[in-house]
């Protein structure tokens, strides 16, 4: 069986749909982008972007995202080809 190729993922906007909607443990479905990404072994969330520095830092810490930017144009510096805007 072929190994699945891995992909790096970036998120623009660190609000509810990006990562906070899974806080209610009673929900049985995955609602946030970060949670869905974390469930796919071949995907790695490597950068996030938000103009709100507090939201950016909180999101990056919670989801263990190494790259954090306040401007989308910085994604190009890390070679991001596909960006999920929330």
3-state secondary structure 38-55: HCCCCEEEEEEECCCHHH
Q: With left for phi above 0 and alpha for psi between -120 and 50, is residue 85 left, alpha or beta?
A: beta
pTM strictly above 0.95:
no
Task: Find the CATH number of the domain harbouring 67.
Answer: 3.40.50.720
Is 1 domain-assigned?
no
Asked if the model's pLDDT at residue 33 lies above 80, the reply is yes
Is 33 domain-assigned?
yes
Contact call for residues 63 and 45 (beta carbons, < 8 A): yes
Domain count of the chain? 1
Task: Please write the tens of the pLDDT for every residue from 74-83.
Answer: 766 666 655 5
Q: Which structural domain range is residue 42 located in?
A: 7-85
Greatest mean pLDDT among 24-28, 64-68, 72-76: 64-68
């Amino acid at each position: 069986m072929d190994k699945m190729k891995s992909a790096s993922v970036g998120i623009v906007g660190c609000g509810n749909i990006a990562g906070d909607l899974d806080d209610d443990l009673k929900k049985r479905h995955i609602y946030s982008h970060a949670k869905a990404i974390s469930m796919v072994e071949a995907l790695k969330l490597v950068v996030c972007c938000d103009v709100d520095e507090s939201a950016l830092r909180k999101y990056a810490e919670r989801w263990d995202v190494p790259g954090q930017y306040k401007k989308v144009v910085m994604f190009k510096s890390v070679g991001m080809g596909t960006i999920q805007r929330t």
